[in-house]
Structure formats: structure tokens, C-alpha cells
Amino acid sequence: MATGFGCVVVGPAGSGKVMQEAGETHKRIYKVCNLDPAAEIFKYKCDIDIRDLISLDDVQEEMNYGPNGGLIYCMEYLIENIDWLMEELQEFAEDAFVLFDCPGQIELYSHLDIMPRLVREIQKSGFLLCATYCADGTFINEPTKYISACFTSLSTMTQLSIPHINILTKCDKIPDQDQIERVTQMSAVDVLNSMNSSFPPKYYELNQRIVEVIDNFNMVQFVPLNIQDEESIDTIIQQIDSVVQYDEFRLPKESLLPPEDEADRDDQMYGNEAGENDMDY
């Protein structure tokens, strides 16, 4: 039985903010778990913060590590002290959907096993998880940038091995809205032709092999997110709910039932005294 639901948010710093605001708009309780020990400023409330356990500044100061080495040390330290995180999560696991706001350093997802190990530990506690890779839609206006985002997403997807959704964020900032559809619906042939138009012929075969890697997996597809469009937000939330089976496992709590529902339930369980008296006579 699931004890909680969560989404591992991968991408630029603060990727969880948009989803938290969307949840508030839809009257859903979201809790944010910051897993970035290097984060400094948040525009939203962090309910769980890895910096309460360990921070990158402390590691760099005490151990003379660089930014990347210090970050890896912090994440390893979190896994070694996973009981701390589990205790924090269980405090509100049954009442909220948890957003895990992760560091943006690609090495944590490309070849190191730190994040997969962390995800497995959270799953062991009963959480049903999915991952969202958030790519900045304003930067994917060229085929090469689109390919780069696809590879980063594919690497994250294969490493974490949990249900995965790719989100194209900041679509409300793109002047040419037709560009969004062109990018998200672009076929492998279109990508290859567009890349070849920007490179000399000696790179054509390399371009073809790169596109084939993404096309053969057939798993990378981006869903546009426009925070000004309620339908766009609904689509993202529905996809996340679907992959973690949120509606299937979630049961209404008695304390959350409206008063009239509680009265009806009591009548069904114990019978209406007045009605029973009428039947006796």
C-alpha cells in the first residue's frame, strides 16, 4: 500500500515552484523537499531542506572541496543518513503530494548512481514516485539545443528508472507559439535535416547517429507548460497523477468529509431512530 506520492523535479534551480503554485490553484496540498545543498534563495516555502542536515558551504569550508565534489559529498551524506529524510517525509506523507526539488548538475544523473540510489530508498518507504525533467522552452529554438535537452532527459530517464514526464517550461515567454508545436512534434527526419543545414557535410553521418540514438529509444517527448493557461497546467497534473496512480490509491479521509456526508454515513450504519420507531408501529 502506498504511504505517499511524490515527483522528483529535475532541471534548473527552482523547478518545483511552478508546480507548487499550480497545486495551490487546484486546491491540492503540495510539500516541497529541497535536495539541493547549494541552494541559497527560494521564492517558495521549503517544508524539508537538506541544508538542515548538510550544506555545500559547510563542506567546502571544512573539507576544501570544490563545488562539484562538495555537491557529490553532500548527496552521499544524505544517503548515509537517509533515516533523517524518511522521518521528515513521514510527517505529512499521507496528506500531501511531495515535490523533490533536485540539483541541476547533470553528472548526478548522467553517470553517477547517487540519485538512483536516493530514489530507491524513498521508494522503499512506500512512496510512489515519478520524475519530471524541466527544459527551458525559451532556449530550445535550435535543433542542436533541442538535441541537447533530449539527451539530458534521456540520461535522467534511464538512470532513475521511474515513470518520467518531460516538460517544456516557460512556454508563456515564447513569442512565436507555433514554434512550440514545431519543436514538440518534430520528427527524427525533420531534426536531422535541420541539423545538417547548420553543419558541413563531414558531420552528416555523426548527426544521423545522434538522432538515431534518441529515435531508437522512442521515449523522449516534451509536454509544453504555460503557467498562464489553466488547461496546460491541468494536462501536466493529470499526467503526473496518472503515472503515480494518485487517484487510484488516494482515499477520502473521514475528517475531510462534509458534515452532511457524515450524517448520511451514520444513518446507513446505525439506522434512523425515528424511521425505526415508525416501522415498529
Domain residue limits, the chain: 4-250, 254-281
Q: Domain 4-250 classified CATH 3.90.950.20?
A: no
Q: Tell me how far apart the alpha carbons of residues 130 and 123 are, in angstroms, rounded to a whole number.
A: 10
Tell me if 235 sits within 8 A of 223, measured CB to CB. yes
Taking only the tens of pLDDT, the chain with its 281 residues reads: 457 889 999 886 544 455 555 555 566 778 889 999 988 877 778 889 999 999 999 999 999 999 989 999 999 999 999 999 999 988 877 777 899 988 888 888 877 889 999 999 999 888 999 999 888 877 777 777 888 888 888 888 888 989 999 888 888 887 877 777 777 777 778 888 888 888 888 989 998 998 888 887 777 788 888 888 888 888 888 899 899 888 776 655 444 444 454 445 455 444 544 444 444 44
Question: Within a 10 A sphere around the Cβ of 172, how many other Cβ atoms?
Answer: 15
Per-residue buried b or exposed e for 78-99, using 16+ beta carbons within 10 Å of the residue's own CB: beeeeeebbebbeeebeebbbb
- Looking from the CA of 204 toward its CB, the CA atoms found within 13 Å total 7
pTM score:
0.79
DSSP symbol at 203 = G
Q: Using only the alpha carbons of the chain, give its radius of gyration.
A: 23
